[in-house]
């Protein structure tokens, strides 16, 4: 999932592989995938905190991702509503976000609830 800084529109692509052609140089996308671990489905997502702008730029991007992730997760859950309708148990799957950064302060994995929290 990505968005336009000009129009503020959200763009969601759902498929068997990432739509790498939709990734902009800004690297403001949320890449998510379903994984199976110990017989439990997990929605894992990654955001790229760094953008070759140094520590201060990463701090700003980190704050923006934290602020905008709930909307992004709502869009992902809405866009995949047919999947959740067909497999309702997935609404209770944990969501983990990897904030990817070269800076240890920003590089972390966080629990962000379940898809049911974003319906």
pLDDT one-digit tens code per residue, 10-28 = 877 787 777 777 766 566 7
CA separation, residue 9 to residues 2, 62, 66 (Å): 9, 20, 18
Cα 68 vs. chain centroid, distance in angstroms?
10
Q: What is the H or E stretch that residue 44 is in?
A: strand 40-48
- In 3D space, the residue among 102, 80, 94 whose CA is nearest the CA of residue 72 turns out to be 80
Q: pTM for this one?
A: 0.88
pLDDT one-digit tens code per residue, 53-77 = 899 999 999 999 999 999 999 999 9
Place of tokens 């939709």: 22
The ranges assigned to domains in the chain are 31-118
pLDDT one-digit tens code per residue, 84-94 = 999 999 999 99
CB 81 within 8 Å of CB 115: no
């Amino acid at each position: 999932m990505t968005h336009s800084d000009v129009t503020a529109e959200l763009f969601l692509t759902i498929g068997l592989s990432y739509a790498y052609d939709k990734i902009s140089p800004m690297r403001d996308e949320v890449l998510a995938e379903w994984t199976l671990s110990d017989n439990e489905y997990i929605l894992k997502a990654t955001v790229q905190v760094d953008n070759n702008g140094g520590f201060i730029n990463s701090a700003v991007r980190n704050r923006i991702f934290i602020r905008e992730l709930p909307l992004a997760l709502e869009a992902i859950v809405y866009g995949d509503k047919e999947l959740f309708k067909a497999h309702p148990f997935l609404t209770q799957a944990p969501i983990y976000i990897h904030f990817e950064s070269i800076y240890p302060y920003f590089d972390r994995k966080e629990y962000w609830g379940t898809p049911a929290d974003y319906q």
